[in-house]
Amino acid sequence: MPRRERNKFVKRGQVIEILIEDYAFGGKGIGRIRNEHGEFVVFVPNTLPGQLVKAQIKKTSKKYAECKLFEVLKSSDDEIDSPYQDIPGAPYIKLPIEKQHEYKKQSTLELFKRIGKVTDIEDKFDEFINSPNTFHYRNKMEYGFSAIGYNHELKTDVDEFTLGFKKRGTWWCGDNLNNDSGLFDGQLENNLKNIRAYCQNTGLAPWHAPKKEGFFRYFVVRKSYKTNMLLFNLVTTSYDLPKFSLNKFAEYLTELFGDRVAGFLHTINDEIGDRTIATSGSIKLIYGEDKIVEELLGLNFEISMKSFFQTNPKSAEKLYSKVVEYVLEKQESVDNSVVLDLFCGTGTIGQIIANKANNTKIVGVDIVASAIEDAKENAKRNNIEGLKFYAADVGKFLSEHPEYKNKIETIVLDPARAGIAPKTLNKIINLNAERLVYVSCNPATQARDTEQLMLAGYQIKKISLVDQFPHTAHIETVVLFEK
């Protein structure tokens, strides 16, 4: 067997300092190593052109290497001062929003050219839709407890009680959130250090990731923009639970946030895996209500701790409005007909279409049974008729319902990050619908699916980009395909 040729530029595990020169889709900065052997490309996530960074080589090939970011040693000239605490979940908070939009648009359209083979994608571009709130736009945050912290002066791990986020590039090390991060609720985040102190004063231990032991695990908060109410969930192990008063903690939360507290839940999670809600654990209401209500485009949605709901509701309204605009562009093919809403989640898009169209039947399908239960409840609450929801795998559902073939003119698709499985996409193509409105939170998989759709006779008519998550690399796309 021939010996694998050694990479002449880098080796796995090596820590390098590199200047970021370009930006690629998904928030990957591009650096280049130049030596007597030539030029070699290095990708570092969550970095910007102009930054000097310290990173570790994780994967190498002949042409390029993938890295893990350790720290930014020198800022880019494009960056500005931010009044918020720096967190891993907002790597671009110091970059002016216009510049963020420029990078997102350019790198997304490039994907459709390269992966989707759409050479004239610029001609199909409709609009870039900004998030109405650039800051404090999220309606949910998960803060983790950790027994290992990080000393930024000494640049080393230390034993300490922390509550915040994982230190960038680590799985074992927490970093305290002491102030507003600019993403969630200012009052809540400025009080997180007080909540941490309260928990620390009980003498009970925070979770120690390497040892897989401890009491405090997560503090999860959901917020309603309609009512400004907060719903809390404290996640702990069952070990030492008798020593902690859940009722006193609920009282403490109402001292801090007054009548903003909608409810407080407690979750037991004894699993060693790093998930907030365990498959085997229990969730119990300790105080108040177990749900909050949010409004989207005039419709009300009840949200529990486990419900899936758009994280940036104000921007989601803009996203859904664009989807509905594309769906209703040919109103005559929607009125008095059936629209399939595949990968429908909690059925929001279908409800909005049914609310705006005439005598339209919506058939929503999603594999997550709890999402379908929420969809049915929400439709009932909003008094919307003509909706049918099925908890099923989309591919399987289409095989079992041949009656939709050649009968459907419009299909809405909103799959998960992985895109649509090729076999399922073939079944969708075989329905022979006139138009597809494809919503995606991962344009890379959408661009891949675009190639298959174009081979089947569909063309992109329009594409819009929606900035659901300012200060991150994420972007949502809405594409209208027509036969």
- How distant is the alpha carbon of residue 94 from its chain centre? 20
3-class state of residue 67 by DSSP:
strand
Give the per-residue pLDDT at 25. Answer: 82
Whether residues 125 and 155 fall in one domain: no
Does residue 416 belong to any structural domain of this protein?
yes
DSSP state, residue 301: E
Residue 344 known to be catalytic: no
Q: Whole-prediction pTM value? A: 0.89
Q: What is the pLDDT of residues 2-26, one digit of tens each?
A: 555 678 888 888 999 999 999 888 8
Tokens 């909706």 sit on residue:
387
Closest CA to 169 of 69, 22, 279: 69
Tell me what percent of the chain is helix, strand and coil, each rounded to the nearest 5.
25, 35, 40
State the pLDDT at residue 36. 86
The answer to whether 346 touches 309, Cβ cutoff 8 Å, is yes
The contacts of residue 193 (CB under 8 Å, 6+ apart) are: 163, 176, 177, 178
Q: Are residues 417 and 457 in the same domain?
A: yes
CATH of the domain at 113: 3.40.50.150
Identify the pLDDT of residue 2: 55
The tally of domains found in the chain comes to 3
Residue 265 and residue 120 share a domain: no
Instruction: Specify if 301 maps to a domain.
Output: no
Q: Pick the closest to residue 84 from 165, 223, 184 (CA basis).
A: 184
Quick one: 333 and 402 in the same domain? Answer: yes
Asked whether residue 441 is domain-assigned, the answer is yes
In this structure, the answer to whether residues 222 and 362 fall within a common structural domain is no
Question: Is residue 9 a part of any domain in this protein?
Answer: no
What is the extent of the structural domain holding 66? 14-79
Whichever domain contains 274, its CATH number is: 2.40.50.1070
One DSSP character per residue, 201-267 reads HTTPPBPBTTTTB-SEEEEEEEE-TTT--EEEEEEE-STTGGGS-HHHHHHHHHHHHGGGEEEEEEE
Do 148 and 251 sit in the same domain of this protein? Answer: yes
Q: Which residues are annotated as a binding site for S-adenosyl-L-methionine?
A: 310, 343, 366, 414
The overall longest dimension of the chain from CA atoms, in Å, is: 71
Is 94 part of any domain? no
Please, what is the Cα angle at 93 between 78 and 476, to 5 degrees?
105
Which residue among the candidates 67, 173, 344, 441 is catalytic per the annotation? 441
What is the reported pLDDT for 4? 56
Q: Which residue among 239, 261, 296 closes a domain?
A: 296
Query: What is the rounded CA–CA span in Å between residue 128 and residue 123?
Result: 14
Same domain (yes/no): 53, 124: no
Do 431 and 93 form a contact (C-beta atoms < 8 A)? Answer: no
Q: Are 377 and 302 in contact (CB under 8 A)?
A: yes
CA dist 279 and 271 (Å) reads: 8
- Amino acid identity at 43: F
Burial class (CB in 10 A: 0-12, 13-18, 19+), 63: exposed
One domain, residues 441 and 322: yes
Q: Is 101 exposed, middle or buried (0-12, 13-18, 19+ CB in 10 A)?
A: middle
Q: What is the model's pLDDT at position 3? A: 55
Q: Is residue 366 part of a domain?
A: yes
Residue ranges of the chain with per-residue pLDDT less than 50: none
Q: How far apart are CA 454 and CA 468, in angstroms?
A: 27
Q: What is the CATH number of the domain that holds 34?
A: 2.40.50.140
191 and 336 inside one domain:
no
Given 296, 327, 342, which residue is the final one in a domain? 296
CB neighbour class for 359 (10 Å; exposed up to 12, middle 13-18, buried from 19): exposed
Dihedral sign from CA coordinates of 393, 394, 400, 401: positive
- Extract the runs of DSSP E, i.e. beta strands, from 305-393: 338-342, 361-366, 387-391
Q: Domain check: are 338 and 270 in the same one?
A: no
**CA 45, CA 23: separation in Å to the nearest integer?**
10
Task: Judge if 273 and 334 occupy the same domain.
Answer: no
233 within some domain: yes
Residues 383 and 331 in one domain: yes
Is 93 inside any structural domain?
A: no
What single DSSP character describes residue 276?
S
